[in-house]
Chains A and B, each alone.
Chain A
Amino acid sequence: DTEVTQTPKHLVMGMTNKKSLKCEQHMGHRAMYWYKQKAKKPPELMFVYSYEKLSINESVPSRFSPECPNSSLLNLHLHALQPEDSALYLCASSQVAGGDTGELFFGEGSRLTVL
C-alpha cells in the first residue's frame, strides 16, 4: 500500500463553521505533512509531524489546528476561516530515518472553498 488517502475531496464551509480534513497512510511512515496549494502556485509547507510530535509550524494562523492522533493519521481542524484560505490542502508522508531519500508521498488533496 503506497497510498496517502485524504478526505473529504471537496469541502465548502462558511466562515463560522468548524470542519476537519483527514489524512491516512499505512506505509509505516513516521513523518506527515500538511501543505497548502493556491491555484497556479507551488505547494507551501504548513506543518510537519515527526513521530506524532509537531516539528515544524510555518507560522500558520491558529485558525488551522493540526492533530496527529497516531502514526497513521493526520487531521487538520479548521475554524473561523477566511475566503483567502480557499485552496487545495495536500497531505504527505515520508520516512524519517537519516540517509533516506526523503521522498514525500502525497495524497490527492482536499479542495476547500470558504464562503
Chain B
Amino acid sequence: GEDVEQSLFLSVREGDSSVINCTYTDSSSTYLYWYKQEPGAGLQLLTYIFSNMDMKQDQRLTVLLNKKDKHLSLRIADTQTGDSAIYFCAEGSGGYNKLIFGAGTRLAVHP
C-alpha cells in the first residue's frame, strides 16, 4: 500500500544546513510535496517537485528526488530559528488530490 516514511527528529545549529529525508512507496505519484507546520498552526506548502524532475531549488530550499530509490530530501540552507517546525513529506497525483503524508520531522534549531 501507500506509505511515506520520515525520520522523526533533527537538531541543527543556527546557520548550518538541515537535510530532512523521506521515502515513499507509490511509484505512480505525480508530485511530491514538503509542508511546514508551526506549533498550533495549519500546514504551509514549502515546495513541491514533479516526479520526472530530480532537483528543484527555491531560495534556501533544495529538493532532491531519487525516483529509483523513491527517496526525497529537503535541504534548508543557512537554517534559522524561524525554521523550527514540523516538516511533512507528502505524495500525491495532482489535481483533485488525495495526499499521503509522512509522520513529520521535527526540526529544532539551536544557537
Interface residues of A (CB under 8 A from B): 4, 6, 30-31, 40-45, 48, 50, 55-56, 90, 92, 94-109, 111
Contact = CB atoms under 8 A, between A and B. Distances in A.
Interface of B: 30-31, 33, 35, 40-45, 48, 50, 88, 92-99, 101-104
A50 B45 contact: no
Contacts of A94: 95-97
Q: Is the interface of A mostly helix, strand, loop or mixed?
A: loop
A102 B32 CA distance: 10
Contacts, number: 71
B94 A99 contact: yes
A95 B31 CA distance: 14
15 contacts: A6-B42, A41-B104, A45-B98, A45-B99, A50-B96, A94-B96, A95-B95, A96-B96, A101-B31, A101-B50, A101-B94, A102-B30, A102-B92, A104-B43, A106-B42
B65 to A, nearest CB: 15
